[in-house]
Structure 1
Amino acid sequence: MNNVKILSIGFIGMLVLTTFVVSVDRAIAGADIETNGVSASTASQSTSVSTDHASNWQQVKNKVRRTLQLNVSSIAESPVPGLLQVMTERGLFYVSSDGRYFVQGRIFNLDADMRNETEAALTSTRLSGLEEFKGTFIEYKADKEKYVVNVFTDITCGYCRKLHEQMSDYNDLGITVRYLAFPRAGLDGQSYKDMVSVWCSENQQKAMNDAKGGAQVPAKSCNAKVAEQYAFGQSIGVNGTPNIILPDGSVIPWLSAS
């Protein structure tokens, strides 16, 4: 039996609208998330970190880089005493404060209705990271824009093509879609070269439409940000497409066939 899941306009539209309302409610409730991706209490602790702690953090960063070949872009106290949260080009991880243990996983707060603390940290990282790519998206703007979603896409991805076929429906709902490049095969495959060509096209929307329709992409070259967008996606945990970032920074991950 073919149980291939299909992205539907009703499903994505409902999630976008629902998540937007929920995010507003959370903001009004005064969620304790600061723009640096940690709680207000953690941020307060971070600002009072002693010189000794700062030196220790640098040692942890150096050890992660030396041992795992991962560059740490930021480091901070995690919600769990004794664990540091480290942001790398491969995502968010945790390291014991003595640099001995490396943890991959998610932290949930049992005293706050199972709040996903890892997701909270990633949410602000996604939003701040998106700001750095302003002007480099391929945008399909709604005439009566109500919401903006950012979508990591690959021109060879079947689900991405299905989503793209419904673009006019999203726009009619007031949803503007901004594409970021995420060539699933990495930076050495033909998909990467084709996506560079799309981003370098004089008419990016037409090039994207043609590519998503299976047409041959005329080769072009320019200083596109395809590699940088791909690296950003990896750093925030994108591992498939389409990966949709909603207005509050939460994510609708890619759907796999079953």
Structure 2
Amino acid sequence: MKKKLISFAVAAITMVGSSVWAQTPAQIEANIKKVISSNISSGVKIDSVTKTPYGGLYEVRMGNEIVYTDDKAKYIFVGSIIDAKGTTNFTKQRTDELNRVNFSELPLDAAVKYVKGDGKRVIAIFEDPNCGYCKKFRKTLQGVDNITIYTFMYNILSDDSVTKSRDIWCSADRSKAWDEWMMNGKVAPTAAASCKTPHDQVLALGKRYRVTGTPTVIFTDGSRLPGMVDVKALEEKFASLKTPSLAAK
């Protein structure tokens, strides 16, 4: 997406001489859509165009990506808006807000549940059984106490991921089967043909929340961490949460 946005910006700047002098967000959106349709073949959808409180810029949101434009839609700005003191990244704040998840709405019955210690600290993780970073992160989690983990088996890397997840989901002890595969490479028994899995539901869930890579960790305050982190970073994140824990379901 970043590469597309940069190309988008370059293309937009070359259209300065032919830009329509837009005055409203609707007109700006129409102009930007015209630029996108003529320069990005994949057809990126604009979700919203809103005026910001900084510099007279307009925020243009495409999924979880944000770019900015002026009130005449003559230029496109790709990057972060940061205050002069360098203490606040407004673009990151906005992106984090857009990516926030309502944890209470997650279908936890479609996840593999693991509890360690009192289980008061709760997270959800999107993982693929063929994801190398997920396997490393799973080992990292062994060093975290008093935690409940809901693992959504998000099969996006290969068709084989669907098969592995199905066999694990249909095992007598899903949590044990998942850990044995992720940490020790032990394959779960072949699932019965009659066993149903939440694969389609989890895939739709990941797309809804724009989960584009694994592992992706979701915390109870709705924030997320894409990619693997170490125990120290996880503990710091837990300590910073306004909603540090939920009752495990």
- 1:116 matches 2:81: no
Partner SS, residue 209 of structure 1: helix
Partner SS, residue 185 of structure 2: coil
RCO greater where, 1 or 2, for CA within 8 Å and sep 6 or more?
1
Equivalent in 159, 163, 186 of residue 190 of structure 1: 159
CA distance in 2, matches of 1:163, 1:100: 45
Q: Is this contact kept in 2: 1:72–1:87, CA < 8 A?
A: yes
User: What is the match of residue 175 of structure 2?
Assistant: 205
Tell me the amino acid that sits aligned with residue 179 of structure 1.
Answer: T
Q: Structure 1 residues 118, 149: closer, same or farther in 2, change over 3 A?
A: farther
Counterparts in 2 of 1:219-238, with a 5 A limit? 222-224=197-199, 225-232=201-208, 235=210, 238=212
User: What is the match of residue 27 of structure 2?
Assistant: 56
User: What is the match of residue 178 of structure 1?
Assistant: 150
CA displacement at 1:86 relative to structure 2: 0.2
User: What is the match of residue 82 of structure 1?
Assistant: 57
CA distance in 1, matches of 2:178, 2:37: 40
CA displacement at 1:180 relative to structure 2: 3.4
Q: Is this contact kept in 1: 2:44–2:62, CA < 8 A?
A: no
CA distance in 1, matches of 2:174, 2:35: 40
- 1:215 matches 2:186: yes
Unmatched segments (≥5 aa) in structure 1? 1-51
TM-score by length of 2: 0.57
CA displacement at 1:53 relative to structure 2: 3.5
CA distance in 1, matches of 2:120, 2:216: 20
Q: Structure 1 residues 192, 105: closer, same or farther in 2, change over 3 A?
A: farther
Equivalent in 75, 80, 90 of residue 106 of structure 1: 80
Tell me the amino acid that sits aligned with residue 92 of structure 1.
Answer: E
CA distance in 2, matches of 1:192, 1:65: 34
Unmatched segments (≥5 aa) in structure 2? 1-22, 230-249
CA distance in 2, matches of 1:117, 1:245: 21
My pick for the range that moved more, 57-66 or 161-170, is 57-66
1:120-173 Cα offsets, whole Å, 9 max, x none, are 123223333555433333332345234223333222233322332354542xx2
TM-score by length of 1: 0.56
CA displacement at 1:193 relative to structure 2: 1.8
Alpha carbon RMSD of aligned pairs, Å?
3.7
CA displacement at 1:57 relative to structure 2: 5.9
- Percent of pairs with identical residues: 17
Q: Structure 1 residues 128, 162: closer, same or farther in 2, change over 3 A?
A: closer
